[in-house]
Chain A
Amino acid sequence: MQTNELKTIAMERRLDVLEVVMRSKSGHIGGAMSGLDILVSLYYVIMDVEKIKRQDPDRDRFVMSKGHCGDSLYTVLADCGFFAKELLETYAAFDTILAEHPTKKVPGVEMATGALGHGLPLAVGMAIACKNDASPANVYVFMGDGEQAEGSNWEAAMAASKYGLGNLTAVIDRNYLQISGSTEEVMPIDNLAAKYSAFGWQVKECDGHEPAEIIEAISAERLADQPLLVIARTTKGYGSAVMANKASWHHKTPSQEEYKQIKADLQEQIRGLRHD
Protein backbone atom coordinates (compact mmCIF):
# COMPACT_ATOMS: atom_id res chain seq x y z
CA MET A 1 0.00 0.00 0.00
CA GLN A 2 1.25 3.50 -0.83
CA THR A 3 2.17 5.83 1.99
CA ASN A 4 -0.48 8.39 1.04
CA GLU A 5 -3.10 5.70 0.95
CA LEU A 6 -2.21 4.66 4.52
CA LYS A 7 -2.16 8.25 5.70
CA THR A 8 -5.57 8.73 4.12
CA ILE A 9 -6.95 5.67 5.87
CA ALA A 10 -5.59 7.01 9.18
CA MET A 11 -7.21 10.40 8.54
CA GLU A 12 -10.52 8.72 7.71
CA ARG A 13 -10.31 6.80 10.97
CA ARG A 14 -9.72 10.12 12.76
CA LEU A 15 -12.99 11.29 11.25
CA ASP A 16 -14.61 8.10 12.60
CA VAL A 17 -13.13 8.76 16.06
CA LEU A 18 -14.44 12.32 15.96
CA GLU A 19 -17.95 11.03 15.26
CA VAL A 20 -17.67 8.39 17.99
CA VAL A 21 -16.54 11.00 20.52
CA MET A 22 -19.23 13.49 19.53
CA ARG A 23 -21.98 10.89 19.70
CA SER A 24 -20.92 9.40 23.02
CA LYS A 25 -19.54 12.62 24.54
CA SER A 26 -16.76 10.37 25.71
CA GLY A 27 -13.37 9.05 24.62
CA HIS A 28 -9.69 9.92 24.78
CA ILE A 29 -9.55 11.89 21.58
CA GLY A 30 -6.00 13.29 21.86
CA GLY A 31 -4.20 9.97 22.18
CA ALA A 32 -6.56 8.35 19.68
CA MET A 33 -5.51 10.89 17.05
CA SER A 34 -1.80 10.52 17.80
CA GLY A 35 -1.76 6.74 17.50
CA LEU A 36 -3.75 6.13 14.34
CA ASP A 37 -0.91 6.04 11.81
CA ILE A 38 0.70 3.32 13.95
CA LEU A 39 -2.52 1.30 14.23
CA VAL A 40 -3.13 1.62 10.50
CA SER A 41 0.45 0.52 9.68
CA LEU A 42 -0.03 -2.56 11.86
CA TYR A 43 -3.53 -3.54 10.74
CA TYR A 44 -3.31 -2.70 7.04
CA VAL A 45 0.27 -3.74 6.30
CA ILE A 46 2.28 -5.49 9.00
CA MET A 47 -0.15 -8.03 10.51
CA ASP A 48 -2.08 -10.71 8.65
CA VAL A 49 -5.58 -9.61 9.60
CA GLU A 50 -7.28 -12.61 8.03
CA LYS A 51 -5.34 -14.95 10.33
CA ILE A 52 -6.46 -12.89 13.31
CA LYS A 53 -10.07 -13.04 12.16
CA ARG A 54 -10.08 -16.81 11.95
CA GLN A 55 -8.25 -17.07 15.31
CA ASP A 56 -5.41 -19.02 13.74
CA PRO A 57 -3.08 -20.28 16.51
CA ASP A 58 -0.22 -18.75 14.52
CA ARG A 59 -1.87 -15.35 14.23
CA ASP A 60 0.01 -12.22 15.18
CA ARG A 61 -1.07 -10.84 18.54
CA PHE A 62 -1.82 -7.20 19.23
CA VAL A 63 -2.21 -5.73 22.72
CA MET A 64 -3.57 -2.21 23.13
CA SER A 65 -1.78 -1.28 26.33
CA LYS A 66 -2.97 2.32 25.94
CA GLY A 67 -6.48 0.94 26.28
CA HIS A 68 -7.98 4.36 26.94
CA CYS A 69 -7.65 4.93 23.18
CA GLY A 70 -9.95 1.99 22.46
CA ASP A 71 -12.03 4.32 20.27
CA SER A 72 -9.20 4.51 17.72
CA LEU A 73 -8.71 0.74 17.77
CA TYR A 74 -12.44 0.17 17.26
CA THR A 75 -12.56 2.36 14.16
CA VAL A 76 -9.68 0.35 12.69
CA LEU A 77 -11.21 -3.02 13.62
CA ALA A 78 -14.55 -1.98 12.12
CA ASP A 79 -12.90 -0.80 8.90
CA CYS A 80 -10.94 -4.07 8.69
CA GLY A 81 -14.20 -6.00 8.93
CA PHE A 82 -13.95 -7.43 12.44
CA PHE A 83 -17.44 -6.11 13.12
CA ALA A 84 -20.06 -3.90 11.46
CA LYS A 85 -19.32 -0.21 11.43
CA GLU A 86 -22.76 0.50 12.93
CA LEU A 87 -21.54 -1.03 16.17
CA LEU A 88 -19.37 2.07 16.66
CA GLU A 89 -22.61 3.93 17.38
CA THR A 90 -22.90 1.97 20.63
CA TYR A 91 -19.47 3.06 21.91
CA ALA A 92 -19.63 3.61 25.70
CA ALA A 93 -23.42 3.17 25.68
CA PHE A 94 -25.38 1.00 28.11
CA ASP A 95 -24.62 -2.72 27.74
CA THR A 96 -22.39 -2.25 24.69
CA ILE A 97 -19.46 -4.55 23.96
CA LEU A 98 -17.53 -1.39 23.04
CA ALA A 99 -16.54 -0.07 26.47
CA GLU A 100 -14.13 2.84 26.27
CA HIS A 101 -11.43 0.37 27.22
CA PRO A 102 -11.33 -2.80 25.08
CA THR A 103 -12.33 -6.24 26.30
CA LYS A 104 -12.21 -9.74 24.87
CA LYS A 105 -15.87 -9.38 23.92
CA VAL A 106 -14.76 -7.22 21.01
CA PRO A 107 -13.93 -9.29 17.90
CA GLY A 108 -10.19 -8.98 17.27
CA VAL A 109 -9.24 -8.04 20.83
CA GLU A 110 -6.98 -10.61 22.55
CA MET A 111 -7.04 -9.23 26.10
CA ALA A 112 -8.81 -6.50 28.04
CA THR A 113 -6.60 -3.50 28.72
CA GLY A 114 -7.00 -0.06 30.12
CA ALA A 115 -5.34 -0.04 33.49
CA LEU A 116 -1.94 1.20 32.42
CA GLY A 117 1.22 -0.86 32.64
CA HIS A 118 -0.58 -4.14 31.92
CA GLY A 119 0.01 -4.54 28.18
CA LEU A 120 3.72 -5.28 28.16
CA PRO A 121 3.56 -8.12 30.73
CA LEU A 122 0.65 -9.67 28.80
CA ALA A 123 2.60 -9.39 25.55
CA VAL A 124 5.66 -10.97 27.16
CA GLY A 125 3.57 -13.98 28.18
CA MET A 126 2.14 -14.29 24.66
CA ALA A 127 5.60 -14.01 23.11
CA ILE A 128 7.08 -16.67 25.41
CA ALA A 129 4.27 -19.05 24.43
CA CYS A 130 4.64 -18.32 20.69
CA LYS A 131 8.40 -18.78 20.89
CA ASN A 132 8.15 -22.07 22.78
CA ASP A 133 5.54 -23.31 20.30
CA ALA A 134 7.88 -22.38 17.42
CA SER A 135 5.05 -20.24 16.05
CA PRO A 136 5.86 -17.71 13.31
CA ALA A 137 3.53 -15.25 15.08
CA ASN A 138 4.77 -11.87 16.19
CA VAL A 139 3.45 -10.05 19.23
CA TYR A 140 2.86 -6.29 19.10
CA VAL A 141 2.06 -4.10 22.06
CA PHE A 142 1.10 -0.43 21.72
CA MET A 143 1.93 1.69 24.76
CA GLY A 144 1.45 5.31 25.72
CA ASP A 145 4.37 7.41 26.88
CA GLY A 146 2.74 8.52 30.14
CA GLU A 147 2.30 4.88 31.15
CA GLN A 148 6.06 4.40 31.09
CA ALA A 149 5.94 5.63 34.69
CA GLU A 150 4.26 2.35 35.68
CA GLY A 151 6.81 0.05 37.29
CA SER A 152 5.24 -3.09 35.87
CA ASN A 153 6.51 -2.07 32.42
CA TRP A 154 10.07 -2.26 33.65
CA GLU A 155 9.49 -5.63 35.29
CA ALA A 156 8.22 -6.84 31.91
CA ALA A 157 11.08 -5.17 30.03
CA MET A 158 13.55 -7.22 32.09
CA ALA A 159 11.63 -10.44 31.47
CA ALA A 160 11.37 -9.80 27.70
CA SER A 161 15.12 -9.44 27.54
CA LYS A 162 15.78 -12.47 29.76
CA TYR A 163 13.64 -14.68 27.54
CA GLY A 164 15.20 -13.35 24.32
CA LEU A 165 11.87 -12.40 22.79
CA GLY A 166 12.81 -11.62 19.20
CA ASN A 167 9.13 -12.02 18.33
CA LEU A 168 8.04 -9.12 20.55
CA THR A 169 7.71 -5.53 19.35
CA ALA A 170 6.61 -2.68 21.58
CA VAL A 171 5.65 0.66 20.09
CA ILE A 172 5.46 3.79 22.24
CA ASP A 173 3.20 6.62 21.13
CA ARG A 174 5.64 9.36 22.11
CA ASN A 175 3.51 12.49 22.07
CA TYR A 176 5.05 13.99 25.23
CA LEU A 177 1.67 14.78 26.79
CA GLN A 178 -0.47 13.13 29.43
CA ILE A 179 -3.64 14.23 31.19
CA SER A 180 -1.96 16.70 33.56
CA GLY A 181 0.49 18.17 31.07
CA SER A 182 3.96 17.43 29.74
CA THR A 183 5.26 13.94 30.44
CA GLU A 184 8.56 15.52 31.37
CA GLU A 185 6.93 17.68 34.03
CA VAL A 186 4.55 15.09 35.45
CA MET A 187 7.26 12.43 35.72
CA PRO A 188 10.31 12.72 33.50
CA ILE A 189 10.61 9.56 31.41
CA ASP A 190 12.80 10.79 28.59
CA ASN A 191 15.87 8.95 27.33
CA LEU A 192 13.54 6.04 26.71
CA ALA A 193 15.92 4.67 24.07
CA ALA A 194 18.80 4.54 26.54
CA LYS A 195 16.56 3.09 29.25
CA TYR A 196 15.20 0.25 27.13
CA SER A 197 18.67 -0.39 25.65
CA ALA A 198 20.00 -0.77 29.15
CA PHE A 199 17.25 -3.33 29.76
CA GLY A 200 18.51 -5.35 26.79
CA TRP A 201 16.18 -4.16 24.05
CA GLN A 202 16.92 -3.18 20.49
CA VAL A 203 15.53 0.34 20.05
CA LYS A 204 14.51 2.27 16.94
CA GLU A 205 12.91 5.67 16.54
CA CYS A 206 10.66 6.95 13.80
CA ASP A 207 8.16 9.62 12.84
CA GLY A 208 4.91 8.20 14.14
CA HIS A 209 2.89 9.92 11.46
CA GLU A 210 4.92 8.51 8.56
CA PRO A 211 3.66 4.97 7.85
CA ALA A 212 6.70 4.18 5.68
CA GLU A 213 8.99 4.93 8.61
CA ILE A 214 6.80 3.01 11.07
CA ILE A 215 6.70 -0.05 8.83
CA GLU A 216 10.43 0.09 8.19
CA ALA A 217 11.18 0.37 11.92
CA ILE A 218 8.94 -2.56 12.84
CA SER A 219 9.51 -4.87 9.89
CA ALA A 220 13.17 -4.41 8.94
CA GLU A 221 15.56 -7.21 9.80
CA ARG A 222 16.22 -7.34 13.52
CA LEU A 223 18.21 -9.26 16.06
CA ALA A 224 16.70 -12.71 16.50
CA ASP A 225 16.82 -12.89 20.26
CA GLN A 226 16.11 -9.36 21.40
CA PRO A 227 12.79 -7.61 21.91
CA LEU A 228 12.34 -4.48 19.80
CA LEU A 229 11.10 -1.10 20.97
CA VAL A 230 9.96 1.47 18.43
CA ILE A 231 9.67 4.98 19.79
CA ALA A 232 7.21 6.66 17.45
CA ARG A 233 7.33 10.45 17.71
CA THR A 234 3.80 11.73 17.43
CA THR A 235 1.61 14.77 18.05
CA LYS A 236 -1.25 14.45 20.51
CA GLY A 237 -4.46 15.51 18.79
CA TYR A 238 -2.84 15.08 15.37
CA GLY A 239 -4.95 16.16 12.41
CA SER A 240 -6.27 19.53 13.51
CA ALA A 241 -4.72 22.66 14.99
CA VAL A 242 -7.74 22.80 17.32
CA MET A 243 -6.40 19.81 19.28
CA ALA A 244 -2.76 19.44 18.28
CA ASN A 245 -0.25 19.37 21.12
CA LYS A 246 -2.74 20.37 23.79
CA ALA A 247 -2.92 18.26 26.95
CA SER A 248 -6.46 19.56 27.53
CA TRP A 249 -7.56 17.34 24.62
CA HIS A 250 -6.51 14.15 26.43
CA HIS A 251 -10.17 13.44 27.17
CA LYS A 252 -12.51 16.05 25.81
CA THR A 253 -15.68 16.35 23.78
CA PRO A 254 -15.42 19.11 21.18
CA SER A 255 -17.98 21.93 21.13
CA GLN A 256 -20.09 22.15 17.97
CA GLU A 257 -17.80 24.85 16.67
CA GLU A 258 -14.66 22.85 17.43
CA TYR A 259 -16.26 19.77 15.90
CA LYS A 260 -16.92 21.57 12.63
CA GLN A 261 -13.39 22.94 12.51
CA ILE A 262 -11.75 19.58 13.32
CA LYS A 263 -13.90 17.84 10.74
CA ALA A 264 -13.03 20.47 8.11
CA ASP A 265 -9.32 20.17 8.96
CA LEU A 266 -9.37 16.38 8.64
CA GLN A 267 -11.34 16.48 5.38
CA GLU A 268 -8.97 19.05 3.93
CA GLN A 269 -6.00 16.83 4.69
CA ILE A 270 -7.72 13.85 3.12
CA ARG A 271 -8.32 15.91 -0.03
CA GLY A 272 -4.66 16.96 -0.02
CA LEU A 273 -3.42 13.38 0.40
CA ARG A 274 -5.60 12.21 -2.48
CA HIS A 275 -4.28 14.91 -4.80
CA ASP A 276 -0.61 14.36 -3.97
Chain B
Amino acid sequence: MTKVSVRGAVAAAIQTEAAANPNVYIVTTDSRGSAMVTGLADLFPERFIECGIAEQNAVGVASGLASTGKTVFVLSPACFLSARSYEQVKIDVAYNESDVKLIGVSAGVSYGPLGGTHTTLNDFASMRALPNLEIYAPADAVQAAAITKHIAQDGKPVWLRIGRGDVEAVYEDGESFDIERAKVVCDGSDITLIACGEMVLYAKKAAGLLAEAGIAARVLDMFRLKPVDAAAVIQASYDTEAILTIEEHSIHGGLGEMVAGILAQNHCVPLKIMGFPDEEYKVGSSQELFEHYGLTAENIAREAGALLERARL
Protein backbone atom coordinates (compact mmCIF):
# COMPACT_ATOMS: atom_id res chain seq x y z
CA MET B 1 0.00 0.00 0.00
CA THR B 2 1.50 3.34 -0.99
CA LYS B 3 1.75 6.02 1.61
CA VAL B 4 1.06 9.70 1.04
CA SER B 5 2.31 12.77 2.90
CA VAL B 6 -0.40 14.53 4.89
CA ARG B 7 1.90 17.50 5.40
CA GLY B 8 2.44 17.71 1.67
CA ALA B 9 -1.31 17.61 1.05
CA VAL B 10 -1.92 20.47 3.47
CA ALA B 11 0.90 22.50 1.94
CA ALA B 12 -0.43 21.94 -1.58
CA ALA B 13 -3.92 22.97 -0.51
CA ILE B 14 -2.57 26.15 1.10
CA GLN B 15 -0.66 26.88 -2.11
CA THR B 16 -3.86 26.58 -4.13
CA GLU B 17 -5.72 28.89 -1.75
CA ALA B 18 -2.87 31.42 -1.64
CA ALA B 19 -2.70 31.49 -5.44
CA ALA B 20 -6.42 32.19 -5.65
CA ASN B 21 -6.70 34.64 -2.75
CA PRO B 22 -4.15 37.47 -2.25
CA ASN B 23 -5.27 37.78 1.36
CA VAL B 24 -3.89 34.37 2.36
CA TYR B 25 -0.75 34.67 4.49
CA ILE B 26 1.64 32.00 5.76
CA VAL B 27 3.52 32.35 9.07
CA THR B 28 6.32 30.00 10.13
CA THR B 29 8.68 29.60 13.08
CA ASP B 30 11.83 28.34 11.39
CA SER B 31 9.53 25.48 10.48
CA ARG B 32 9.11 25.80 6.72
CA GLY B 33 10.99 22.58 6.07
CA SER B 34 9.16 20.49 8.62
CA ALA B 35 5.84 21.92 7.40
CA MET B 36 6.87 21.34 3.77
CA VAL B 37 6.08 24.93 2.76
CA THR B 38 9.54 26.04 1.63
CA GLY B 39 8.23 26.44 -1.91
CA LEU B 40 5.53 28.85 -0.75
CA ALA B 41 8.20 31.29 0.42
CA ASP B 42 9.40 31.57 -3.17
CA LEU B 43 5.91 31.76 -4.65
CA PHE B 44 4.52 34.33 -2.19
CA PRO B 45 7.54 36.12 -0.70
CA GLU B 46 5.58 39.10 0.67
CA ARG B 47 2.91 36.92 2.23
CA PHE B 48 5.31 34.43 3.76
CA ILE B 49 6.19 35.75 7.22
CA GLU B 50 9.08 33.99 8.89
CA CYS B 51 9.02 34.73 12.62
CA GLY B 52 11.98 32.59 13.64
CA ILE B 53 11.94 30.38 16.70
CA ALA B 54 9.40 32.54 18.52
CA GLU B 55 5.99 30.89 18.63
CA GLN B 56 4.33 33.44 20.90
CA ASN B 57 5.17 36.27 18.54
CA ALA B 58 4.22 34.20 15.50
CA VAL B 59 0.68 33.65 16.79
CA GLY B 60 0.38 37.31 17.81
CA VAL B 61 1.62 38.49 14.42
CA ALA B 62 -0.80 36.13 12.69
CA SER B 63 -3.68 37.58 14.69
CA GLY B 64 -2.59 41.12 13.88
CA LEU B 65 -2.50 40.22 10.19
CA ALA B 66 -5.95 38.65 10.47
CA SER B 67 -7.35 41.80 12.09
CA THR B 68 -6.71 43.61 8.80
CA GLY B 69 -8.71 41.06 6.81
CA LYS B 70 -6.11 38.42 6.06
CA THR B 71 -6.57 34.65 6.31
CA VAL B 72 -3.47 33.39 8.05
CA PHE B 73 -1.97 29.89 8.23
CA VAL B 74 0.57 29.39 11.02
CA LEU B 75 2.61 26.23 10.46
CA SER B 76 4.78 25.10 13.34
CA PRO B 77 5.63 21.89 15.20
CA ALA B 78 2.50 21.02 17.16
CA CYS B 79 4.44 20.41 20.38
CA PHE B 80 5.51 24.08 20.48
CA LEU B 81 2.53 25.71 18.80
CA SER B 82 0.07 24.03 21.16
CA ALA B 83 1.92 24.84 24.36
CA ARG B 84 4.46 27.66 24.07
CA SER B 85 1.95 29.98 22.44
CA TYR B 86 -1.15 28.74 24.26
CA GLU B 87 -2.02 32.12 25.77
CA GLN B 88 -1.77 33.74 22.34
CA VAL B 89 -4.03 31.00 20.97
CA LYS B 90 -6.50 31.58 23.81
CA ILE B 91 -6.62 35.37 23.54
CA ASP B 92 -5.24 36.61 20.22
CA VAL B 93 -6.82 33.86 18.13
CA ALA B 94 -9.82 32.37 19.95
CA TYR B 95 -11.05 35.29 22.10
CA ASN B 96 -10.60 37.69 19.18
CA GLU B 97 -12.21 35.21 16.76
CA SER B 98 -9.29 35.73 14.40
CA ASP B 99 -9.21 34.12 10.96
CA VAL B 100 -6.08 32.22 11.94
CA LYS B 101 -5.44 28.57 11.08
CA LEU B 102 -2.99 26.99 13.49
CA ILE B 103 -1.48 24.00 11.73
CA GLY B 104 0.34 21.85 14.27
CA VAL B 105 2.66 19.58 12.31
CA SER B 106 4.43 16.43 13.48
CA ALA B 107 1.83 16.04 16.23
CA GLY B 108 1.17 13.08 18.51
CA VAL B 109 4.26 10.87 18.73
CA SER B 110 5.57 11.76 15.26
CA TYR B 111 8.72 12.97 16.97
CA GLY B 112 8.80 9.92 19.25
CA PRO B 113 12.54 9.30 18.86
CA LEU B 114 13.19 12.88 20.04
CA GLY B 115 11.73 12.19 23.45
CA GLY B 116 9.09 13.70 25.71
CA THR B 117 9.93 17.31 24.88
CA HIS B 118 8.54 16.79 21.40
CA THR B 119 5.36 14.80 21.96
CA THR B 120 1.97 16.46 21.40
CA LEU B 121 -0.50 14.30 23.27
CA ASN B 122 -2.16 17.14 25.15
CA ASP B 123 -3.50 19.44 22.43
CA PHE B 124 -7.08 18.15 22.21
CA ALA B 125 -7.42 18.59 25.98
CA SER B 126 -6.12 22.14 26.05
CA MET B 127 -7.60 23.41 22.79
CA ARG B 128 -11.11 22.07 23.30
CA ALA B 129 -11.57 24.23 26.39
CA LEU B 130 -11.19 27.42 24.33
CA PRO B 131 -14.46 28.94 23.08
CA ASN B 132 -14.59 29.82 19.35
CA LEU B 133 -11.74 27.50 18.38
CA GLU B 134 -12.53 24.62 16.01
CA ILE B 135 -10.38 21.48 16.11
CA TYR B 136 -9.54 19.08 13.28
CA ALA B 137 -7.43 15.93 13.06
CA PRO B 138 -7.51 14.50 9.51
CA ALA B 139 -7.02 10.80 8.87
CA ASP B 140 -5.12 10.97 5.61
CA ALA B 141 -3.92 13.24 2.81
CA VAL B 142 -7.22 13.29 0.91
CA GLN B 143 -9.13 14.41 3.96
CA ALA B 144 -6.41 16.84 5.05
CA ALA B 145 -6.59 18.59 1.67
CA ALA B 146 -10.38 18.84 1.86
CA ILE B 147 -10.29 20.25 5.39
CA THR B 148 -7.56 22.75 4.50
CA LYS B 149 -9.65 24.02 1.61
CA HIS B 150 -12.65 24.33 3.91
CA ILE B 151 -10.90 26.21 6.71
CA ALA B 152 -9.22 28.58 4.25
CA GLN B 153 -12.67 29.92 3.53
CA ASP B 154 -14.60 29.58 6.79
CA GLY B 155 -13.25 32.71 8.52
CA LYS B 156 -12.91 30.90 11.85
CA PRO B 157 -10.13 30.26 14.37
CA VAL B 158 -8.85 26.71 13.83
CA TRP B 159 -6.47 24.22 15.41
CA LEU B 160 -5.58 21.52 12.86
CA ARG B 161 -3.10 18.83 13.86
CA ILE B 162 -1.31 16.47 11.52
CA GLY B 163 1.43 13.91 11.88
CA ARG B 164 4.82 13.78 10.26
CA GLY B 165 5.09 10.44 8.51
CA ASP B 166 3.42 9.48 5.26
CA VAL B 167 0.24 7.50 5.83
CA GLU B 168 -1.79 4.91 3.98
CA ALA B 169 -4.91 6.29 2.38
CA VAL B 170 -8.20 5.77 4.18
CA TYR B 171 -10.12 7.57 1.46
CA GLU B 172 -10.03 7.53 -2.32
CA ASP B 173 -9.19 10.66 -4.27
CA GLY B 174 -12.22 12.84 -4.67
CA GLU B 175 -13.96 11.57 -1.52
CA SER B 176 -16.30 14.23 -0.16
CA PHE B 177 -16.79 15.14 3.48
CA ASP B 178 -19.68 16.81 5.27
CA ILE B 179 -17.73 19.03 7.62
CA GLU B 180 -20.53 18.91 10.22
CA ARG B 181 -20.69 15.14 10.37
CA ALA B 182 -18.39 12.35 11.46
CA LYS B 183 -17.40 10.32 8.42
CA VAL B 184 -18.81 6.79 8.42
CA VAL B 185 -15.87 4.73 7.19
CA CYS B 186 -17.84 1.51 7.37
CA ASP B 187 -21.10 0.54 8.99
CA GLY B 188 -21.96 -2.19 11.46
CA SER B 189 -24.48 -3.03 14.16
CA ASP B 190 -22.44 -4.74 16.90
CA ILE B 191 -19.90 -2.18 18.07
CA THR B 192 -18.74 1.32 17.07
CA LEU B 193 -15.10 2.32 16.78
CA ILE B 194 -14.63 6.11 16.94
CA ALA B 195 -11.20 7.36 15.92
CA CYS B 196 -9.46 10.45 14.60
CA GLY B 197 -6.21 11.25 12.82
CA GLU B 198 -3.92 8.37 11.93
CA MET B 199 -5.87 6.03 14.20
CA VAL B 200 -8.75 5.94 11.72
CA LEU B 201 -6.69 3.70 9.46
CA TYR B 202 -6.08 1.22 12.29
CA ALA B 203 -9.73 1.33 13.29
CA LYS B 204 -10.70 0.56 9.70
CA LYS B 205 -8.28 -2.37 9.59
CA ALA B 206 -9.56 -3.57 12.96
CA ALA B 207 -13.09 -3.55 11.58
CA GLY B 208 -11.86 -5.85 8.83
CA LEU B 209 -10.41 -8.25 11.40
CA LEU B 210 -13.60 -8.12 13.46
CA ALA B 211 -15.67 -8.93 10.37
CA GLU B 212 -13.63 -12.08 9.92
CA ALA B 213 -14.68 -13.02 13.47
CA GLY B 214 -18.31 -12.31 12.68
CA ILE B 215 -18.47 -8.94 14.47
CA ALA B 216 -19.91 -6.04 12.51
CA ALA B 217 -18.17 -2.81 13.52
CA ARG B 218 -19.16 0.71 12.58
CA VAL B 219 -16.14 2.98 12.18
CA LEU B 220 -16.67 6.71 12.71
CA ASP B 221 -13.92 9.13 11.68
CA MET B 222 -14.32 12.09 14.08
CA PHE B 223 -12.04 14.33 12.01
CA ARG B 224 -13.62 17.43 13.53
CA LEU B 225 -13.32 17.23 17.29
CA LYS B 226 -14.92 20.59 17.90
CA PRO B 227 -17.72 21.21 17.36
CA VAL B 228 -18.01 17.46 17.72
CA ASP B 229 -20.76 15.48 15.97
CA ALA B 230 -22.56 14.44 19.15
CA ALA B 231 -25.53 13.15 17.18
CA ALA B 232 -23.35 10.50 15.53
CA VAL B 233 -22.14 9.33 18.95
CA ILE B 234 -25.65 9.17 20.39
CA GLN B 235 -26.91 7.35 17.31
CA ALA B 236 -24.09 4.82 17.65
CA SER B 237 -25.08 4.24 21.28
CA TYR B 238 -28.54 3.13 20.10
CA ASP B 239 -27.47 1.28 16.97
CA THR B 240 -24.57 -0.70 18.48
CA GLU B 241 -23.88 -2.35 21.83
CA ALA B 242 -20.59 -0.72 22.83
CA ILE B 243 -18.22 2.06 21.82
CA LEU B 244 -14.44 1.99 21.59
CA THR B 245 -12.48 5.19 20.99
CA ILE B 246 -8.94 5.32 19.61
CA GLU B 247 -6.72 8.41 19.50
CA GLU B 248 -3.08 9.44 19.29
CA HIS B 249 -3.50 11.56 22.41
CA SER B 250 -3.46 11.19 26.17
CA ILE B 251 -6.45 9.28 27.47
CA HIS B 252 -7.15 12.44 29.47
CA GLY B 253 -9.17 15.20 27.87
CA GLY B 254 -9.24 13.93 24.31
CA LEU B 255 -11.65 12.22 21.93
CA GLY B 256 -12.44 9.42 24.38
CA GLU B 257 -13.49 11.72 27.19
CA MET B 258 -15.47 13.84 24.72
CA VAL B 259 -17.39 10.71 23.73
CA ALA B 260 -17.73 9.68 27.39
CA GLY B 261 -19.25 13.07 28.19
CA ILE B 262 -21.76 12.75 25.38
CA LEU B 263 -22.74 9.21 26.39
CA ALA B 264 -22.99 9.99 30.11
CA GLN B 265 -25.35 12.87 29.44
CA ASN B 266 -27.49 11.08 26.87
CA HIS B 267 -27.43 7.32 26.68
CA CYS B 268 -24.82 5.13 28.34
CA VAL B 269 -23.35 2.05 26.73
CA PRO B 270 -20.11 0.24 27.65
CA LEU B 271 -17.16 2.39 26.57
CA LYS B 272 -13.41 1.91 26.37
CA ILE B 273 -10.92 4.69 25.68
CA MET B 274 -7.72 3.73 23.88
CA GLY B 275 -4.87 6.23 23.72
CA PHE B 276 -1.65 7.08 25.53
CA PRO B 277 -1.64 6.36 29.28
CA ASP B 278 -0.95 8.99 31.93
CA GLU B 279 2.76 8.25 32.24
CA GLU B 280 6.11 9.22 30.81
CA TYR B 281 6.24 7.82 27.30
CA LYS B 282 8.89 5.51 25.91
CA VAL B 283 11.23 6.78 23.23
CA GLY B 284 10.72 5.29 19.81
CA SER B 285 9.30 5.67 16.33
CA SER B 286 5.57 6.23 15.90
CA GLN B 287 5.19 2.63 14.83
CA GLU B 288 7.13 1.28 17.79
CA LEU B 289 5.13 3.45 20.19
CA PHE B 290 1.79 2.53 18.64
CA GLU B 291 2.73 -1.11 19.08
CA HIS B 292 3.98 -0.63 22.64
CA TYR B 293 0.81 1.17 23.70
CA GLY B 294 -1.49 -1.22 21.88
CA LEU B 295 -2.61 1.15 19.14
CA THR B 296 -2.57 -1.47 16.37
CA ALA B 297 -5.35 -2.96 14.27
CA GLU B 298 -4.91 -6.33 15.97
CA ASN B 299 -5.09 -4.94 19.48
CA ILE B 300 -7.99 -2.62 18.65
CA ALA B 301 -9.86 -5.67 17.31
CA ARG B 302 -8.96 -7.61 20.47
CA GLU B 303 -10.14 -4.80 22.76
CA ALA B 304 -13.32 -4.40 20.71
CA GLY B 305 -14.08 -8.12 21.05
CA ALA B 306 -13.49 -8.05 24.81
CA LEU B 307 -15.60 -4.91 25.22
CA LEU B 308 -18.45 -6.46 23.26
CA GLU B 309 -18.24 -9.58 25.37
CA ARG B 310 -18.47 -7.45 28.53
CA ALA B 311 -21.42 -5.55 27.06
CA ARG B 312 -23.23 -8.81 26.45
CA LEU B 313 -22.72 -10.29 29.92
Contact = CB atoms under 8 A, between A and B. Distances in A.
Interface of A: 57, 61, 103-104, 110-112, 114-115, 117-118, 120-130, 132-133, 151-152, 155-156, 158-159, 163
B87 interface: yes
Contact of B52 (A118, A129, A158): A158
B92 A122 contact: yes
13 contacts: A57-B68, A122-B61, A123-B64, A124-B57, A124-B61, A124-B64, A125-B60, A128-B61, A129-B65, A132-B46, A152-B57, A155-B57, A159-B57
B61 A115 contact: no
Contacts of B47: 132
B57 A156 contact: yes
B54 interface: yes
B92 A151 contact: no
B59 to A, nearest CB: 8
B60 A121 contact: yes
A163 to B, nearest CB: 8
B49 A128 contact: yes
Dominant secondary structure of chain B at its interface with chain A: helix
A118 B85 CA distance: 11
Contacts of A133: 68
Nearest to B51: A159
Nearest to B70: A129
A130 B61 CA distance: 13
Given A111-B64, A129-B68, A129-B70, A118 B54 contact: no
Contact of B60 (A103, A118, A127, A130): A118
Nearest to A104: B96
Contacts of B97: 104
A62 to B, nearest CB: 12
Interface in B59-78: 59-70
Nearest to B50: A162
Which of A103, A133, A152 lies at the interface centre, i.e. has the most chain B CB atoms within 10 A of its CB? Answer: A152
Given A111-B92, A121-B57, A156-B57, A126 B87 contact: no
